[in-house]
A = this chain, B = another copy of it.
Amino acid sequence: MDDKPANGRSGGWKQDPAGVRNNILAVAMAEFAANGLSGARIDDISAKTSTSKRMIYYYFGDKEGLYGRVLEEAYREVRAGEQQLELDHLPPVEALKLLAEFTFDHHSRHPDFIRIVMIENIHHGAYLERSELIRLLNAGAIQKLEAICRRGREAGLFRDDVTPLQLHWHISAMSFFNVSNRATFSRIFGTNLFAADGQEALKKQMVEMVVGLALKPERRLGR
């Protein structure tokens, strides 16, 4: 008698697994970045999705599974952006400067990535630990710096008691902190450092510090 479907829905829909997955991931990344792992609400995520809550569980299993994929996706996007940078044609000092500047700007342009990493650190890196993909992605994150350092040492310019990893650490620290702690820092000390010219000054100082650290003392004068 009744040929209407039991759920009252009659309209048609298209299958689009990849689209649905990506849609969920994008919304979830924004929600996790905004509210943290415990703070994010599956119902909120699903409401902002163009699909239903059930599909989240269909594709990602549970909340933690979804978070894990978001984490991977965040690292993937940012590392992909970093790969754009071409440095081999530059002399070592110029290459190091450019890499440091780029990192500063790149972090600044991707606050959601920074927030996801903050959140992951709050969780002691437990989910990153489970992802083989992320370890692979990051293995290459330091290769550019290693190449620069090798060339710099071969040219007699760079110290050899400063490792690429240490340089990466210093560059990361200042570029990351600049985004991660903006809220508390600016509320305590004002917003001058975060206006356009304040940021330019910080970046310039950061680059100067990093280059100064990498160079042999007797090479530092010609600036």
A interface with B by C-beta (< 8 Å): 35-39, 115, 117-125, 128-129, 134-135, 138, 141-142, 162, 165-166, 168-170, 172-174, 176-178, 180-189, 192-193, 201-202, 205-206, 208-210, 212-213, 217, 220-221, 223
Contact = CB atoms under 8 A, between A and B. Distances in A.
B202 A122 contact: no
A217 B208 contact: no
B213 A217 contact: no
Contact of A183 (B38, B120, B189, B206): B120
Given A39-B36, A166-B202, A177-B177, A119 B122 contact: yes
Nearest to A162: B205
Given A174-B177, A217-B221, 12 more contacts: A36-B122, A38-B38, A38-B39, A115-B122, A119-B122, A120-B184, A125-B183, A128-B184, A134-B188, A166-B202, A173-B181, A209-B213
A36 B123 CA distance: 9
Q: Which 4 A-B pairs have the closest CB atoms?
A: A125-B183, A173-B177, A38-B39, A38-B38
Contacts of A208: 213
A208 B135 CA distance: 31
